Amino acid sequence: MRPQLLGSDPACMAENAARLAELAPAGIDLNFGCPAKTVNRHRGGAVLLDEPELIHAIVAAVRRAVPAHIDVSAKMRLGYDDDARLLDCAHAIDSAGASELAVHARTKAHGYRPPAYWESVAQVRQQVRLPVIANGEIWSVADAARCREVTGCDALMLGRGMVRRPGLARAIRQAGAGAVEPTTSYSDAAVAALPWRRVVPLLADFWADVCTRVERRHRAGRLKQWLNYLRVAYPEAQQAFDALRAVNDPDAISAWVRRVQALAAQATQVPVTEDVI
């Protein structure tokens, strides 16, 4: 697990990173990419991309506060309103001692609107010493292949594509190993890598987590939100979305989850508790 921090005060960021390091995480990530208005208004996330000197100070302070064996990574966008300071920010992160850098190939102003500007990620990769991870608009195995070709990056970060098709990472890996047939559509490859009967345990785990973290009145909306993504690839998710569209009682949804789990367990010999990601 790699927890993520965001903020604009180098001392506070370093103090929190040091406390996180006591929990022995796989690494600590610094967020310079979040486009949310509330986050940016409080000087966190992408708004700092207009201040590469401050970004350098934050990364350097965290790096000093964290033992050398714990990686300190960062994620950034191409910029805030534009990409004029893209390379300045990338160099700031690199020279401050970060272990790796993930680049979302859009500015804050772009939001999540396509396209992703992978060519700009290639510029960053050519200009810095640390490993660069490409992120943005990777929805399929074909997108992953094109992104790697354009950016020159071996490593990719998946976001909404994995929410829509939880098997996408596995499908990309299988394609790299030659396990995906040329006649198989890339969308089908992702679904085949993780069929619906194996998505169901993930839904159950997600719902259990929602029930422990989210206010009762908001819980149903969280599950429906994920089903809304999943129904692009899974007909079963469309059926589930339709069945739960008017249901807001968490107890009723819990009962539905138990029924769907039981049906999925009957449909396969694979234990529902197996790690499938």
- Please list the active-site residues: 34
111 contacts 145 by C-beta, under 8 angstroms: no
Residue 79: partners with Cβ closer than 8 Å, 6 or more residues away: 49, 50, 85, 86, 89, 107, 108
> What secondary structure letter does DSSP report for 168?
H
206 contacts 223 by C-beta, under 8 angstroms: yes
Question: Per residue in 143-177, is it b (16+ CB within 10 Å) or e — as a string?
Answer: bbeebbebbebeebbbeebbebbbbbbbbbebbee
Structure-block tokens of residue 87:
């390379």
Residue 149: partners with Cβ closer than 8 Å, 6 or more residues away: none
Q: Determine the 3-state secondary structure of 89 from DSSP.
A: helix
Beta bridge partners of 102: 75, 133
Question: Left if phi > 0, otherwise alpha if psi is -120 to 50, otherwise beta: which for 213?
Answer: alpha
Structure-block tokens of residue 178:
């030659």
Structure-block tokens of residue 113:
């609107």
Helical spans, DSSP H, in the chain: 10-21, 37-41, 52-65, 86-95, 118-127, 141-151, 160-164, 168-176, 186-193, 196-213, 216-230, 235-244, 250-266
